[in-house]
Chains A and B, each alone.
Chain A
Amino acid sequence: MKRVAASAVLLVALVLAVAGAAVGAQGKAKAPTKLTVWVGWSARELSVFKKVVAEYQKAHPEVQLNVLGNFTDDQKIIAAIRAGNAPDVASSFNSYNVGIYCGTGGWIDLGPLMSKAHIAASEFPPATQYYTQYNGKRCALPLLADTYGLYYNKALFKKAGIAGPPKTISELTADAKKLTVRNPDGSLKVVGLDPLIGFYENVPERWAPAFGGQWNDAKGHAILGQSPGWSKWLTWQKSLIDWYGYKNLVKFQAGLGDEFSASNAFEAGKLAMNLDGEWRVAFIQAEHPTLDYGTAPFPVDDTQSSLYGSGYINGTIIGIPRNGKHTAKAWNLVEWLTTNTHALAELSNGLRNVPSTSASTTSKELTPDAHFATFLKIFTNPKSGTSPIMASGQSYTNLVQSFATKWQAGQVKDLAGGLKTLDKQLDAQVTQAKGGGAP
């Protein structure tokens, strides 16, 4: 009897052990894969992103997403890749370093993954297609886009007797002068348009599209000295600055509020027109909902009227750092975030950035807004341009900015000669960045 009881106890123990092991194994199989995602957004914007990502999380219990915000600096991403503890998915607020990420393999090539998932690059407008690749290698995809256009103060326009937004540079110049108000001592009280490079969003690459300024030839050499758009832009810009008085304008600028605050000069009515991104619509809505303003494509060179409607585009990019352990699952998330119309529409509504596929720009889920609609049109305009993607990253456009600031301050006497020298410097910089040293 004792032997039977002992056998029974042993049998029960065996059954329990097997069952426990099976449950354990099942539990292990169901344990979600942890994916870390780094994004630049913080505070309210981060919560919008997290809310959208939560939908993905709900539909994909096999992954556990850990979204971390405030990664606005690419240095952190590069340091993490070097240290071998990069996130599974990383994003950058702009495309300036795509040349570095793709060129070095820091972010993996998404081309094969896109082919496998039957995603064509043509789902994205041309400018975004361009700024997410380098030398044909696509290591990033656009995750929303920033599109630039003209903001104009309707109340100030009405006061100055101007009917509508300018469409050409001549009209823009005339309106800017008309809208400018000076104090009795000659200092500037209200400025029609501030063209100083370095002010708020004013960098050369955002002005070049309006003048048709080209960056490179087919071989990638700089052609700023040959492309008439650049000298046209710089000549016009300097003449308007001189009309205000360089020092007058700098002093006026020094007294303006921070760009990303409620005292932003356009929102505060100190600037009648401004070149700005689509996100300003949300800022105005939150900070100055009663501001009477309009948005329009930025005016273009009088002799290139076909450019009207286009603008400058850049924006957040997203990719997969190398040496990741969960590439397939990371790709699934990247694919969903960058191509799912619903996700893009939700993000766009929350962040008021432009949704980055052509299809999502016409989504019925997008909250209608006349001001914002302007930027959706600029985004899909085939003539819209972006920054050059070069091996030297942001230093390429920084060098152009350095030249432009010298020019506007009156330190460059020979514009044509200066641009030709700049071309040589840009080419040398790229050669150096590729590791070729001095040419």
Chain B
Amino acid sequence: MSPWLVGFSVFFGYPLVMSAYLSFQHYDLLSPPRWVGLANYRYLFTIDPQVWTAVRNTLWLIAVLVPLQVVFAFGIALVLARARSGVGIFRTIFYLPALAPPVAATLGFVYILNPATGPVNTILGHLGIQGPLWFQDPAWSKPSLVILGLWGVGNTMIIFLAAVLDVPRQLYESASLDGAGPLQRLRWVTLPTVSPVILFAVILGVIQGLQYFTQAFVASGVASGQASQAADITSVNLGYPVDSTLFYPVLLYQHGFSDFQLGYASAMAMLLLVVSFAVTLVILFNSRRWVHYAGSPR
């Protein structure tokens, strides 16, 4: 048996099959699993009072964060690709946040965006602007997480930068000779050439959005004031404020590892898997209209 097959079976195949199996069981970790048929799915789709809030929050995050991340990362890559001096320094500066551990980065953002003592609102106050309550306000908590997400866009930016630098120079020269200006060169040369990378970033962003957990988990616990560090966070404050950061994976975690309803959490995980798969397929199917692969006819 090849090592690949062993790894695939142990780390992917077995957990997947077990999750599917447990999703039809009542399993509280301490008693043996007991067959309950579709009861977990029925509870998931028709009763769980928090699940639709979690779905709405997750969809909001994907709809807002993914496009912004792609545009932001692509924009920085374009600027860096044109830089003539200090290229290494700027690339490092923009990439550096991606190296920050998500927990530390989130703690830092909760601190600097603290509405009462944080430097951002203090500066806004000096400018005569009353800053928002950021992570403490249900209307601003998700936008705050989006800002955090944009700050840490370094990985996507580096991939875009490589793709932009890889665009053949002669294509730009030909376009210029045909009278194309900078915007037209961007529209007709750069974008089609890097479109496979954009597709990659979109799919990756959507899957990461569907699995969004760490930042929301830490931010809700620390911003609620009930945890001074990530390790103190309990299920009491997940989703703070007012369930606005209760994302689907956070709720899944709560049911599985705080309420010890692993059968139900497995049903949630199976739904997440199916949705991730379906969304990826839809994007891939749709991409035929806008993704251009070198050597293939458009």
Contact = CB atoms under 8 A, between A and B. Distances in A.
Interface of A: 75, 78-79, 81-82, 97, 100-101, 104-106, 198-200, 203, 247, 250-256, 258-261, 392-395, 398-399, 401-402, 405-406, 409, 411, 421, 425, 428, 432-438
B30 A247 contact: no
Contacts of B255: 395
Interface in B222-241: 223-226, 228, 235-237, 239-241
Contact of B225 (A97, A106, A199, A393): A199
7 contacts: A100-B28, A200-B225, A250-B241, A255-B115, A258-B228, A394-B259, A437-B38
Given A251-B115, A405-B241, A78 B30 contact: yes
A398 B236 contact: yes
A82 B28 CA distance: 11
A393 B243 contact: no
Nearest to A199: B225
B258 A425 contact: no
Given A251-B115, A437-B43, A395 B259 contact: yes
Contacts of B136: 250-251, 253-254
B40 A250 contact: no
Nearest to B135: A254
A300 B122 CA distance: 40
Given A78-B260, A100-B260, A198 B240 contact: yes
In order of increasing CB-CB distance, the 7 nearest A-B pairs are: A437-B39, A255-B116, A435-B26, A104-B30, A106-B30, A395-B259, A438-B42
Contacts of A198: 224-226, 236-237, 240-241
Contact of A402 (B30, B47, B239, B264): B239
Contacts of A399: 49-50
User: Looking at chain B, what size class is its interface with the partner chain?
Assistant: 35 or more
A106 B260 CA distance: 12
B236 A203 contact: yes
Given A198-B226, A200-B225, A254 B133 contact: yes
Interface in B194-226: 223-226
Contacts of A435: 26, 28, 34, 36, 39, 263
A251 B258 contact: no
Given A254-B116, A255-B117, A438-B39, 12 more contacts: A198-B226, A198-B241, A250-B241, A252-B116, A253-B136, A255-B115, A256-B225, A395-B235, A398-B235, A405-B240, A432-B47, A436-B39
Contacts of B28: 100, 104, 433, 435
Given A402-B50, A405-B241, A428-B47, A393 B29 contact: no
Contacts of A436: 36, 39
Given A81-B30, A433-B261, A259 B43 contact: no
B14 interface: no
A124 B186 CA distance: 77
A304 to B, nearest CB: 27
B242 interface: yes
B80 to A, nearest CB: 36
Contacts of B37: 437
B97 interface: no
A78 B225 contact: no
A242 to B, nearest CB: 16
Contacts of B42: 437-438
A409 B30 contact: no
B46 interface: yes
Contacts of B226: 198, 200, 259
A259 B226 CA distance: 7
A432 B261 contact: yes
A434 B37 CA distance: 14
A219 B167 CA distance: 71
A104 B29 CA distance: 9
**Residue among A75, A261, A432 with the highest chain B CB neighbour number at 10 A:** A432
A269 B225 CA distance: 18
Given A203-B236, A402-B50, A255 B114 contact: yes
A395 B38 CA distance: 22
B215 to A, nearest CB: 18
B192 interface: no
A259 B225 contact: yes
A421 B47 CA distance: 11
Nearest to A73: B234
Contacts of A260: 228
B254 interface: yes
Interface string B34-58: 1011111011001101100000000
Given A203-B236, A394-B259, A435-B26, A247 B133 contact: yes
A247 B137 contact: yes
Given A106-B30, A250-B133, A437-B40, A402 B243 contact: yes
**Residue among B42, B114, B116 with the highest chain A CB neighbour number at 10 A:** B116
Contacts of A105: 30-31
A78 B225 CA distance: 27
A135 to B, nearest CB: 15
B29 A82 contact: yes
Contacts of B254: 395, 398
Contacts of B30: 78, 81-82, 100-101, 104-106
Nearest to A188: B116
B143 interface: no
A101 B242 CA distance: 30
A422 to B, nearest CB: 8
A258 B47 CA distance: 37
A425 B47 contact: yes
A393 B36 contact: no
A215 to B, nearest CB: 17
A208 B240 CA distance: 22
B257 interface: yes
B242 A405 contact: yes
Nearest to B243: A402
Given A251-B136, A428-B47, A433-B261, A104 B31 contact: yes
B102 interface: no
A79 B116 CA distance: 40
A405 B116 contact: no
A405 B235 CA distance: 14
Contact of A395 (B34, B116, B239, B258): B258
Contacts of A395: 235, 254-255, 258-259
